[in-house]
Amino acid sequence: MQSEKPVKIRYPEIDFFRGTALIMMLVSNFVTDLQYFFSYSDFESFWYWFARITAGMFIFISGLSLWISHFRRSGINRYFRRFAKLFGLGMAITLVTEIFLPEGTIYFGILHFLGVASLLGIPFLRLGAVNLFLSLLFFAGAFFVNNLHSGSLLLLPVGITPDVFFTFDYFPLFPWFGVFLLGISAGTIFYPEGRKKLNFEFPRNRGMSFVEFLGKNTLKIYLAHQPVFVLTLLAVSGGRLEGIVLPW
């Protein structure tokens, strides 16, 4: 007798939150492209914090999603498949940026981080709300590793960089895994055993449904958005973008 497949339950508020973060990411990354390719420099402090808040939302919701999903299915293989998918896509981005944007090659960006976090987070799932306090260790640790430097790129995942280092996308474990743990902590409080604790109906309308749709297709849109942005800027600029290296 075949075992029944687990029912995949989606919570609209989570998809909406993720979709909102995706829209913010699209805005943030387009501004980053303008800064790099066209030397746009207005409101730098605002856009710096806008980008960090946006990234924090993505990472937080990923930790929350890991908490919920581990109640849905059993087996360790799914975690390794998720790691292989996200980290593999991250390495593909490393290769592409090394070819086309060598000055800012992405060695450990958001996809690399999320792939590693999806494995590293497994033992923390048992700790529940304790992760709220453990997250502080990763935030505090960032102040320590930020003052350390190494000639090797192998220490980039923990936040130790070469003396001179520039990349377009960098999310080391210190402090960002702390944000991931906050997401797990929120899951233990609001989604105990993977089920919504608060009894409320998420409001629905066309606009919210569209944002939810984006939230359900985040990875696909994330992978497609930068080629679209760059091609658009190439067309607008007549094929002249500073910093980009074309192989032809």
Q: Would you kindly state where each structural domain of the chain is located, as residue ranges?
A: 12-236
Q: What is the C-alpha to C-alpha distance for residues 219 and 25, in angstroms, rounded to an integer?
A: 12
Element (H, E) at 12: helix 12-38
State the average pLDDT over residues 17-37: 94
What confidence tens digit (pLDDT) does each residue in 68-112 have? Answer: 998 877 678 889 999 999 999 999 999 999 998 888 999 999 999
Using DSSP's 3-state secondary structure scheme, residue 7 falls into coil
Alpha-carbon distance of 140 to 144, in angstroms, equals 7
pLDDT score for 198:
75
Q: How many CA atoms lie within 13 A of 237 on its CB side?
A: 15
Model-level pTM?
0.91
Nearest to 223 by CA among 58, 62, 93, 80: 93
With contact defined as beta carbons under 8 Å apart, do 99 and 247 qualify?
Answer: yes
Residue 15 in this model has a pLDDT that exceeds 80: yes
